[in-house]
Amino acid sequence: MSVLEVRNLQTHFFTDAGVVKAVDGVDFALNEGEVLGLVGESGSGKSVTGFSILRLVDPPGRVVGGQILFRGQDLAQLPASEMRRLRGNKIAMIFQDPMMTLNPVLRIDTQMIEAVRAHDKVSAKAARDRAISALSKVGIPSPAERLDAYPHQFSGGMRQRVAIAIALLNGPDLIVADEPTTALDVTIQSQILAEVQDLARDTGTALIWITHDLAVVAGLADRVAVMYAGRIVETGQTDDVLTTPGHPYSVGLLGSIPGHGQRGERLTQIPGMAPNMAHLPPGCAFAPRCFNADERCRTDAPGIEDMERVRQLRCHHPLTKAGGTP
Amino acid sequence: MLVYLLRRIAQSIFVALAMMVIVFFGIYMIGNPVDILISPDATPREIEETMARFGFDQPIYIQFLTFVGNALQGDLGRSFVHGESAVTLILHYMPATLELAALGLIFSVLIGIPLGVYAGYKADRWQGRAIMTGSIFGFSLPNFWVGMLLILIFAVELRWLPSTGRGDTVDVFGIRLSIFSENGLQYMILPALTLALYKASLVTRLARAGTQEALVQDYVKFARAKGVSETRILFVHVLKNIMIPILTVLGLELGSMIAFAVVTETVFAWPGMGKLLIDSILTLDRPVIVAYLMMTVLIFIVINLVVDIVYTILDPRVRVTGGAG
């Protein structure tokens, strides 16, 4: 059963320079316990997609169209008070920079207990016990004592664990994780990835993992969706997309990972710059940077096409022929 | 923490000493008090005698050393006019000023912080703009005019509150205070409001700027993602973060409220230190002026010390490690 179904989501930013269509028609669905990797460059709209689901887009941004069906209920239409009741309760979020997400002047226990008591009218003692068990679940040693500490007394990795513990407090059905390991060093990153994977598996929590790091996605996600200029350009089983990318942009992303070529060789990179979101080209947004583009790509935006298995592509000239590799 | 405190106290002593030098020599420059103390037709002999009695015939450095020596024993001289010890005189008038400043401070916090936080929350709406426009009046209206206007409205027209004077006082540990008696409190409201208006505008602006800055921080967004209510975000998450700059300014402003309540005290005929200072300046009553300035410096030093200590309560990151922090 699908926990979340996003249909034609549109989030636009109304700036002085014009309307920026940060998310422009995104569709995807997520089943219970499933992990979706949402991949793309900076500015591709992946984070905005995550914030749109929680209705936490900052002005001048706004969800202007589409449906966000969470267990059949359209979040885009929900009154603010009911949305607040879902946030942190059924839908939780983990942010990118653990140094910034915890309030520096409030103790960890204050910040955890308020998250419990915002949704459950339990005693402070019961909320505290729940906080302790959440902290021990994410691998924080002597959690009862650490509760009395302030955020600055934790390292970056530990703070992110605290943030993850807060996300887990109320046993959510869905966690949106916005590049939660980007700001951490590699060893901590892999520890946290392993822990999150276990937790999601144990509790049946669905996970949207937003990242620009394909290596992270490879180890974690069941499915991957590649975003470019506010749209999903390719989606499919993680293995399929990573081994036989169908969209030239996915190919470019994979090629940019260091380690493929010989030592001393220049890294391959996608030519050009990420497009100016206020002035997108009329055709395919990726056409100006694409090695495979022709006249049609420049005038005519490709629609999304279903391929074999759960694969979908938005390209006039997909690199894997219909069906791809089985 | 203890080391930190000791270091701060040592700094304060140095400031007090420096202030002694400045105050003493500054006052010395103003003029010779003997010219005012004795009649113009006194003989040179009489003048010399008076000079000798007050020690004015000594070289200035001897006078200064005598002054410092006495000051260290808590003696800042006798008032030429009242014949009483200057310190006693000031201590007698101080409680009235202190309680007025304290109530003014309470008013400015109670008015300024909610208005400022709300204005920051609704920064782009008409509510926020209206509060900001209002605060400009608080800044720019002169103190004496506000005082007279308040008297006109609340004392003359509406007859809700008394206009001038101090009202009943009660003895608290031997100090006469009116803040604890209902009648006395009524007398305090208008002068305290007058004192508070400027500070309230200042707090409003600080709170608004801080709130606007804090609201875009990730921790606010994360608190929202936890489902915490907007009220709690504003008055717990945001408020605790913006209290540090507000507290610094308020600490300094409290000092200036105590030291320069002169105008307000004059308008409301409030028998405080400000009025004493004005009188003493007019009669060149040197010991009282010096004692007043030294007391003011002491008050500033104590307030700054308290502010620094309260910081460590508000911001855990300032807490000095290694001690009891």
How do residues B207-235 score in pLDDT, each as one tens digit?
A: 999 999 998 888 999 999 998 988 999 98
* Residue among A102, A114, A163 minimizing CB distance to B232: A114
Q: Check if B66 contacts A (Cβ < 8 Å).
A: no
pLDDT of residue B292: 85
pLDDT of residue B324: 36
Q: Check if B225 contacts A (Cβ < 8 Å).
A: yes
CB proximity under 8 Å: B 132-161 to A: none
Please write the tens of the pLDDT for every residue from A142-201.
888 888 888 988 888 888 889 988 988 888 889 999 888 877 777 878 888 888 888 778
Whether the ipTM is more than 0.90: the answer is no
B316–A54: do the CB atoms touch at under 8 Å? no
Among A302-311, B157-166, B282-291, which stretch is predicted with the lowest mean pLDDT? A302-311
Which chain A residues have a beta carbon less than 8 Å from that of B217?
100
pLDDT of residue A325: 40
In this prediction, residues B94-106 reach a mean pLDDT of: 88
Please write the tens of the pLDDT for every residue from B123-140.
888 888 888 888 888 888
Please write the tens of the pLDDT for every residue from A280-298.
878 788 878 888 778 788 7
Q: Is the pLDDT of residue A77 over 90?
A: no
Closest to B101 measured CA to CA, from B265, B225, B232: B265
CA-nearest residue to A167 within chain B is B226
Residue B12 lies in a domain: no
pLDDT of residue A59: 83
Band (pLDDT 50/70/90 cuts) for residue B325 is very low
Among B6-20, B32-46, B111-125, B298-312, which stretch is predicted with the lowest mean pLDDT? B32-46
B222–A163: do the CB atoms touch at under 8 Å? yes
pLDDT of residue B207: 93
Q: What is the overall mean pLDDT for chain A?
A: 84
Are β-strands A223-228 and A35-39 bridged in parallel, bridged antiparallel, or unpaired? parallel
pLDDT of residue B117: 92
Band (pLDDT 50/70/90 cuts) for residue A322 is very low
Band (pLDDT 50/70/90 cuts) for residue B302 is confident
Q: Positive or negative CA dihedral for B119, B122, B127, B132?
A: positive
Closest to A131 measured CA to CA, from A97, A155, A107: A107
The side-by-side arrangement of strands in the sheet containing A61-70 is A18-31, A2-15, A61-70, A73-74
Band (pLDDT 50/70/90 cuts) for residue B31 is low
Band (pLDDT 50/70/90 cuts) for residue B260 is low
Residue to substitute from B226, B246, B321, interface A, most A β-carbons within 10 A = B226
pLDDT of residue B320: 53
DSSP A325: -
Q: Check if B123 contacts A (Cβ < 8 Å).
A: no
DSSP secondary structure of B55-80: TTTS-HHHHHHHHHHHHHTT---B-T
Residue B304 lies in a domain: yes
For chain A, domain boundaries? 2-221
CA-nearest residue to A55 within chain B is B225
Q: What is the overall mean pLDDT for chain B?
A: 82
Q: Is the pLDDT of residue B19 over 70?
A: yes
Neighbour-count burial for A159-194, b at 16+ CB within 10 Å, e otherwise: bbbbbbbbbbbbebbbbbbbbbbebbeeebbeebbe
Residue B255 lies in a domain: yes
Host domain of residue B190: 86-314
pLDDT of residue B148: 87
Find all residues with CB under 8 Å of A103, minimum gap 6, and list them.
A111, A151, B219, B223, B237, B240, B241
Which chain B residues have a beta carbon less than 8 Å from that of A163?
222
Amino acid at B42: A
A56–B219: do the CB atoms touch at under 8 Å? no
> Distance (Å, rounded) from C-alpha A12 to C-alpha A19?
6
Identify any residues that bridge with A305 across adjacent strands, giving them in sequence order.
A313
- Top-level CATH class of A2-221? alpha beta
CA-nearest residue to B317 within chain A is A152
Among A28-42, A307-321, B77-91, B293-307, which stretch is predicted with the lowest mean pLDDT? A307-321
Do the beta carbons of residue B51 and residue B44 sit within 8 Å?
no
DSSP B156: I
pLDDT of residue A326: 36
Q: Check if A325 contacts B (Cβ < 8 Å).
A: no
State how many domains chain B has: 1
pLDDT of residue B233: 92
> Distance (Å, rounded) from C-alpha B91 to C-alpha B98?
10
Q: Is the pLDDT of residue B120 over 70?
A: yes
Look up residue A6 and give its two tokens: 């996003």
Q: Check if A264 contacts B (Cβ < 8 Å).
A: no
How many angstroms separate the Cα of A324 from the Cα of each of A156, A313, B37, B50, B247? 42, 11, 108, 112, 66
Do the beta carbons of residue B151 and residue B269 sit within 8 Å?
no
pLDDT of residue A24: 87
pLDDT of residue B109: 92
Enumerate the H helices of A204-267 as residue ranges: 214-220, 238-243, 248-255
Kindly state the percentage of chain B with pLDDT values over 90.
12
Q: What is the CATH number of the domain that holds B214?
A: 1.10.3720.10
> Distance (Å, rounded) from C-alpha A225 to C-alpha A236?
7
pLDDT of residue B165: 76
How many angstroms separate the Cα of A263 from the Cα of each of A186, A260, A266, A268, A271? 21, 9, 8, 13, 21
Q: Check if B247 contacts A (Cβ < 8 Å).
A: no
